[in-house]
Structure 1
Amino acid sequence: MISRIGVALMGAALLLYIVITVWLGVMFFSVGNPAGIAMGIALVVLAPVGGWALIRELAFGFGADRLGRTLDAEGTMPEAPEELTPSGRLRADDAEPMIAQYAAGVAASPDDWRAHYRLGVVQDAAGRRKDARGSIRQAIRLARSRP
């Protein structure tokens, strides 16, 4: 619940930032000189990009949270090894076998969103954020098409 409040606050802050950016862009237009108009165009163009990024990240976060809660309720989330690094990540010697195990699960059933999500969780715990986001994004796509 706390994380949802944080997301709402950050979303509201970004929305306020976007509104102020558009307002400043309009103010730059009113100056009338070429530099002001160019800066106004840049600000007005960047605001929708920020809004798109906000919507995309919120959709990813809510989708990942929904799938995570489903797997947790089913009791099929990956088990963490007993020893983790002080930062809570998997140790290097534990990470590779776990990633290989869950990657094999994805290879065995490539259309199963649960396998992709579990792989993403393990990749994230190993510190491979980019790979983890890709796996979880694929899990969200698969869950939408096949519940």
Structure 2
Amino acid sequence: MRAKLTYFALAAVLVVYFVLVGSRGVLLIRQGTAVTVAFGVAVLVLPLIGLWFLWHSTRFAHRAGRLARELEAEGGLPPDELERLPSGRVDRASADAVFARRKAETEEDPGDWRRWFRLAVAYHDAGDTPRARKAMQRAIALHRAERRDAQPRPSR
């Protein structure tokens, strides 16, 4: 819950920042000279890119959370079997061992979104965030395809 509150607080701050930057872009455009119009357009593009990124990240987090809730309801969330150092950080060897198991499970059935979800968690625990994100995106895509295939088709 704390992570969600932090995320939404930071998102709100970003939106306010984008509005402020966008208003400066409009003011530059209103100046009417070639240089200020060019700068104004450039300044307006930055908040648009930021809003797109914020929307994309929020949608990803929402979809990943939905998968986690569904997997939890099925009793399929991966157990926390990682050993921790006295500082509380994950022991690297432990994370690598769990990752190797999760990777082998996913290779056995690469069409199962549940296995990709668990692999994404293992990547994250091993400290490989880019691959964790890609694995989670794969889990989301497989889940969406499974749901689409499970819906009844209208008869002709």
- State the Cα distance separating 1:34 from its structure 2 match: 3.1
Q: Give the conservation status (yes or no) of the 8 Å contact 1:28–1:37.
A: yes
Where does residue 131 of structure 2 map in the other structure? 131
Paired AA for residue 61 in structure 1: A
The 1-side partners of 2:95 and 2:12 are apart by 37
Q: CA deviation at 1:82?
A: 5.4
User: 1:15-26, aligned counterparts within 5 Å?
Assistant: 15-26=15-26
- 2:116 maps to 1:88: no
Displacement after TM superposition at 1:11 (Å): 2.0
Which structure has the higher relative contact order (CA within 8 Å, separation 6+)? 1
Contact persistence 1:29–1:37 (CA under 8 A): yes
Alpha-carbon contact 1:25-1:39 (below 8 Å) kept: yes
User: C-alpha distance in 1, partners of 2:88/2:115?
Assistant: 25
Whether the aligned pair in 2 keeps the contact of 1:77 and 1:118 (CA below 8 Å) is yes
SS of 1:146's equivalent? helix
The secondary structure found in structure 1 opposite 2:14 is helix
Question: What residue is the counterpart of 2:78 in the other structure?
Answer: 78
Whether 1:34 and 2:6 are equivalent positions in the alignment is: no
Following the alignment from structure 1 to structure 2, what is the Cα–Cα distance between the partners of residues 108 and 83? Answer: 26
Counterpart residue number, 1:60: 60
Contact 2:117-2:136 at 8 Å conserved across structures: yes
Is this contact kept in 2: 1:78–1:122, CA < 8 A? no
Identity of aligned residues (%): 31
Q: How far apart in 2 are the matches of 1:63 and 1:49? A: 21
Q: Secondary structure at the match of 1:141?
A: helix
Q: Distance in 2 between matches of 1:121 and 1:55?
A: 22
Q: RMSD between aligned alpha carbons?
A: 1.7
Distance between the aligned counterparts of 1:87 and 1:35, measured in 2? 54
Distance 1:81 1:50 in 2: 37
Cα 1:122–1:92, aligned 2, differ >3 Å: closer, same or farther?
Answer: same
- The one-letter code of the counterpart of 1:16 is V
**What TM-score, normalized to structure 2?**
0.84
Cα pair 1:29 1:40 within 8 Å, conserved:
yes
Whether the 8 Å contact between 2:22 and 2:47 is mirrored in structure 1 is: yes
Cα–Cα, structure 1 residues 95 and 83, in superposed 2: closer, same or farther, change >3 Å? closer
Matched residues in 1 for 2:83 and 2:64: separation?
Answer: 26
Q: Residue 110 of structure 1 aligns to which amino acid in structure 2?
A: P
C-alpha distance in 1, partners of 2:68/2:89? 18
